[in-house]
Structure 1
Amino acid sequence: MELLQLHYFRKVAELEHMTHAAEALNIAQPSLSKAISRLEEDLGVKLFERYNRQIKLNDNGRIFLKRVDAVLHELQEARRELGEYNQHTDHTIRLSVTIPRVLPDLISEFLSNEPQVHFKQYVQSVPIMTEKLRSGELDFCISSVPIKGDDIKWQPLMTEEILLIAPPGHWLESKSHVSLYELKDESFVSMNEGYGIRNLTDNYCQLAGFQPHIAFEGDEPGVIGELVNKGLGIAFIPSVSLIGNKTPHLPVVRLQDPICERTIGLAWSTRRYISPIAEKFQLFLADYFEVLEKELRETAAIRSVET
């Protein structure tokens, strides 16, 4: 059994089409077919079921594929670790963030001490982020939705309060706290369904006994405050979003019954080699969010006193 055969097998298993796999591997189809046949002979079992021109991975193939993925993954990680050990250092950190508001300050602070680092930042759904963590395309994910998996580690970084903003002159302007149920007849400006903050706040409203009326929903967090300012409705807003808020004149109200919070965490693959610079960034994140959480709580306490 040769390493090249394993690469060939994985591509055929992925595409389940011999011609397409041969094209992707840039080899002749007869050569690929012979390589797969030799692999099956070595193993003593068939890995694919063949139906005329179609080819389908069978149960044997699925069992073998799981092991092949693990072997090739370990080889990839070995190359990375050897490169680090022999000082072919990659200073790139591949990061996906579902809360982009914190990113500029976070990155700039880290780069002030580690200017040689190059960040690649991605915005993706949680399922895609999970797969990219496993494949090694991402080093870390900072998310307000827990990322779960047998080979995924999830480390909570901070818990923040979810607040409410309202248009100027709204009856909420005179309130410092409000019961969530009191908002059952209000119109809301919100993110689209599928976003972590939307799913979370919808669940909180259901706990309070009502389904929120969404007057406007979209996928641009930056315009939520502007739409509230125009009087389209009220909106839930995470505390961290008030940092450098472009609409500081909007009334901000704390919620109770229930108190609304969300946890931001860091996810990474336990199967991947973590470079020294990535480990340093991991420690930096824990300190950064600890300080940020403290600042947000102090700000909330001051706001309560002022109102």
Structure 2
Amino acid sequence: MELLQLQYFQTVARHEHMTKAAQELRIAQPALSKTISRLEEDLGVPLFDRQGRHIRLNTCGRAFLGKVNAALALLEEGRKEAADLAGMEHGSIHLAAPTLDRLTEPLGAFLSRHPDVKVRITQASTEEMARLIDSGEVDFCFSALPLEGHGIRSASVLKEEVYLAVPAGHRLAGRSSISLKEIADEPFIGYKEGVLFQQMNDAFFREAGIAPRFVCRVDEPSAIAKLVQAGLGVALIGGCGKDPSAMLTTVPIEHPVCKRDFQIFWHDKRYLSLAARKFRDAIVEFYANPQDENVAISSEKITSQ
């Protein structure tokens, strides 16, 4: 039994789909199928139920997967400990986040000081992130939505206020504040369902008791500002993520309270390398620095832009 077989099995078990697993592993599907078959031969039991092109973990596969996850997590912890003994320059960090919009700047600042640290980033949903931390596949998750799970710890790193962005000359442009109820009939620009920011915005809408009339849904935050500026509609926009060049008119929201709390999550039973611990401290410090223009943007500053 080889380590590569176990890593391949773990990926196939997660997807329960040979093609998707082969794409993630960047190997040919026939080679992956052969590796899994050889592993099953070594064990003497099938790990998957196969029905045509569909595969599902069977009872033996689920039991084996639990042990494989534990074994690979321990090996990864051992690798991190060994790297720590060799020094910070040999460290590595694996992050997971649903969006990189608030992560790129602190990550860039950290790498400028520690250029030899290896960083890997995985984009994942909130549900996926909880599993990745629990299994030890990632060191940290970065999200504004809570992660549930035994042993998962967190630190708040960035609190930002959410504003209403409106086109120039809009009827609400001169207001000092508004209630979300006032935009119930406005053409609204939002994110596609499942996008982190839209999940948070939906919670604000539910609290306000409205269902926005969406005229456009996008994937990227940068598209929101451009569409509002073009006059297509209004949108919710975070103060820390606003593009200063967009020249948007933004209005504070009085009710409900619309704020995002970005946190970094880790598992208290998993070993964190020296590089990972340094990164956790660095990202908290980056956003705690009151001199950093990205940390806290007052409503007066945003509204005047």
Whether the TM-score (by the shorter chain) exceeds 0.5 is yes
Written as runs of structure 1 = structure 2, the 5 A alignment for 1:179-198 is 179-198=179-198
Distance, in Å, in 1 between the alignment partners of 2:230 and 2:17 is 54
1:167-192: CA deviation from partner (whole Å, max 9, x where unpaired): 00101111120111111111111111
Shift of 1:49: 10
More deviation in 137-146 or 289-298? 289-298
Distance, in Å, in 1 between the alignment partners of 2:98 and 2:288 is 18
Contact 1:94 1:139 in 2 (8 A): yes
Q: Which has more helix, going by share of residues? A: 1
Structure-2 change in CA distance of 1:165 and 1:138 (3 Å): same
Structure-2 change in CA distance of 1:297 and 1:254 (3 Å): farther
Structure 1 unaligned residues grouped into runs of 5+: 41-46
Contact 1:172 1:251 in 2 (8 A): no
> Secondary structure, in 3 states, of the residue corresponding to 2:253?
strand
Q: Give yes or no for the alignment of 1:36 onto 2:43.
A: yes
Percent of matched pairs sharing the same residue: 27
Shift of 1:135: 4.6
Contact 1:16 1:57 in 2 (8 A): no
Written as runs of structure 1 = structure 2, the 5 A alignment for 1:221-240 is 221-240=221-240
Structure 2 unaligned residues grouped into runs of 5+: 19-29
| Counterpart in the other structure of 1:24 | 35
| Counterpart in the other structure of 1:114 | 114
| Counterpart in the other structure of 2:298 | 300
Contact 1:133 1:268 in 2 (8 A): yes
Shift of 1:287: 1.2
> Secondary structure, in 3 states, of the residue corresponding to 1:172?
coil
TM-score by length of 1: 0.76
Shift of 1:58: 6.1
| Counterpart in the other structure of 2:262 | 264
Contact 1:148 1:154 in 2 (8 A): no
Contact 2:228 2:234 in 1 (8 A): yes
1:46-74: CA deviation from partner (whole Å, max 9, x where unpaired): x97999xxx98665764564345323422
Structure with the greater alpha carbon radius of gyration: 1
More deviation in 186-195 or 270-279? 270-279
Q: Which amino acid aligns with 1:274?
A: L
Distance, in Å, in 2 between the alignment partners of 1:196 and 1:152 is 20
Q: Which amino acid aligns with 1:175?
A: R
Q: Which amino acid aligns with 2:280?
A: Q
1:196-248: CA deviation from partner (whole Å, max 9, x where unpaired): 22122222122212111111111121111111111110010011112x42212
Distance, in Å, in 1 between the alignment partners of 2:17 and 2:193 is 34
Contact 1:93 1:118 in 2 (8 A): yes
Contact 2:160 2:260 in 1 (8 A): yes
Q: Give yes or no for the alignment of 1:204 onto 2:204.
A: yes
| Counterpart in the other structure of 2:244 | 245
1:81-133: CA deviation from partner (whole Å, max 9, x where unpaired): 23432559633323334443334432332233223223333333233334444
Q: Which amino acid aligns with 1:36?
A: L
Structure-2 change in CA distance of 1:107 and 1:68 (3 Å): closer
Aligned residues: CA RMSD:
4.1
Instruction: Give the total of aligned pairs.
Output: 290
Distance, in Å, in 2 between the alignment partners of 1:145 and 1:82 is 33
More deviation in 88-97 or 216-225? 88-97
> Secondary structure, in 3 states, of the residue corresponding to 1:101?
coil
| Counterpart in the other structure of 2:281 | 283
| Counterpart in the other structure of 1:123 | 123
1:236-268: CA deviation from partner (whole Å, max 9, x where unpaired): 0011112x42212x2110001212111101122
Q: Give yes or no for the alignment of 1:96 onto 2:107.
A: no
Structure-2 change in CA distance of 1:168 and 1:304 (3 Å): closer
Shift of 1:149: 2.2
| Counterpart in the other structure of 1:213 | 213
Q: Which amino acid aligns with 1:80?
A: K
| Counterpart in the other structure of 1:69 | 69
